[in-house]
Amino acid sequence: MKNEKLSTDEFNALLEIAKGIQGRPSACVGRNSKRLSGIKLIKFERTGRIILTDLGKERLFLRRCVLALKALVEQPGAAIDADVAMFLGKKSHIAEVDGGFAITEKGRESLADIEAQGL
């Protein structure tokens, strides 16, 4: 799959779908559902429910990782989710310091690569 760049509005729609839609989808989901379905991040069930695909879940998780790295650049020791911290720690992108986390040089390089790609 080609790495499709998603807009903030499209990520907001993915987040809304991840939380579960009760009743009628919002305008945000309606605006973005055709494209998100086309790039296989969401799917429509036969019942009409809209759900995330595994690829959609992975994309949201990776976005959380990038946002965590950006937060640690701006404020070392910033609070990040446990699952994100575990993943980034295994990849040596962050290191534990004084009860919090700090971004490593490898993490800075990865973040620079991501930003250079515009993702």
Return the pLDDT at 1: 45
Q: How far apart are CA 48 and CA 2, in angstroms?
A: 28
Confidence check: pLDDT of 3 > 90: no
Spatial distance between the Cα atoms of 42 and 13, rounded to a whole number of angstroms: 10
Residue-wise pLDDT for 43-83, tens only, equals 999 998 999 999 999 999 999 999 999 999 999 888 899 99
How much is the average pLDDT of 24-42? 94
Looking at the predicted structure, is the pLDDT value of residue 5 above 90? no
Average pLDDT over every residue of 102-112: 95
13: number of Cβ within 10 Å: 26
Residue that is written with structure tokens 């930003």 in the block: 115
- Tokens representing 112 are 């620079």
Closest residue by Cα to residue 6 from 50, 62, 54: 62
